[in-house]
Structure 1
Amino acid sequence: MSSERQLDLTLQLKELMQKVGINSFKQLYRSTGTSADAIGKLRSGNLNTLRWQTLVNISDTLEISVNELIDTFGEQLSSNKTQPNVSKSSHQALKTLQHEYQHLQHQFQQQREILQAEFQYQSLQTLESFLTYFPTAKYAAAQNHDFPASKILPLVQSIDRLIQQWDVSIIGTVGARVEYDPRWHQLIAGTATPEELVTVRYVGYRQDDKLIFRAKVSN
């Protein structure tokens, strides 16, 4: 690598360091948990010899993505064809790192969505008693403003917002007459056959097509 190119990479690295409050290369390799040799390779654009975790540590410290790190300090490997020490294998090594990073990002996003959905579902299960009986109390308060429960309505608006954010749908409306459907309704009094009209006593909840708990109904 030419001295001009190395100077250019060093200046770019210093700019990134200044943005995150790092004032020296010594402070940089201590912050990243890497060695002075690793930072030297970064300044020379020799990324293909660095371990994947080292690239992640450096990019996290500089608050940029691994792709940005590779594009900034590794582009010489793919764009400058005049350097004899730049080989196809070096170029391929960077491409492999980029592909691995993108694959891990995709896996992380999928895992995050799965964990988030599971957390929401378990939380809703924990809130079953509140979610079941509060709509009925709210209905009674709406019918009678002197009903004591009316005083607590403003306190639970955050619960309603939370349910909306989680794309949770309420099954039924308290007092409504609906066709009995065992998939979504739990009969708590009397008897009923599918499609027979019943009255919703307590609402149920579902998230998309996933049942959380059924609406409680009677005939």
Structure 2
Amino acid sequence: MLRTSIFITNLSNQAMDDRTEILRLLMKQVGISSFQILSERTGISRRAIDTLRKRNAATLRYADLAKLAEVLQIEVTEVIAKFIRNSNNPESPISEIAALREEYQRLQQKLELQKFELRSQFERDAIQQLESLILQLPSAAYAAQQNPNMLAKNILPLLRPIDALLQKWGITTIGAVGKEVNFDSQKHQLMEGSDEIKEGDIAIVRYVGYMQGEKLLYRARVSIAI
């Protein structure tokens, strides 16, 4: 008899801790028909959703609870109230919310710091690659203004850092200025003012295009060969 009583008590406790039907009702109100769809819309794993159904939301991150609340169109505090198991301490839900929010804010700050560090590193790398160009181009431009007869080819070596930077980023050119190519609408763009051109017709590259791996960045601008 005692064992039966304990078994019934355990079942009762499990039923009290099971929030599946409550979650289903909230999902139904926003047109979500399955836990898989809920997982996809919130970006929360199925395991985390199962944890929620068992009323163990306190083990989840505040960011997950906030996203869940957004998708279910309820307040985060309501998620906490419905899916965190009550304790003997009446202040427990409040302290749990505060702890989760603090963790979320800490992670947000860490993410912002990482983004700042990555951006700073990117800028340092770019500046390092372009160092000679940045330092010498203004002087070269001034010299060209002072001496109209200065050959443009004397400035070309200053452009090498740009080529090196593009190569480092995996960016390649489409065509070469002045070269004839067979027109390909996927890679070439006919310049304004030019006559119509057909696929495969001979064209001349006026401005090179760029690709990064398989991704097209800019089509090469071409004109019809005379």
* TM-score range normalised by the length of the shorter chain: 0.3 to 0.5
Q: Which has the higher contact order (CA 8 A, sep 6+)?
A: 1
TM-score normalized with structure 2 length: 0.41
TM-score normalized with structure 1 length: 0.42
Kindly name which structure, 1 or 2, has the bigger radius of gyration based on alpha carbons: 2
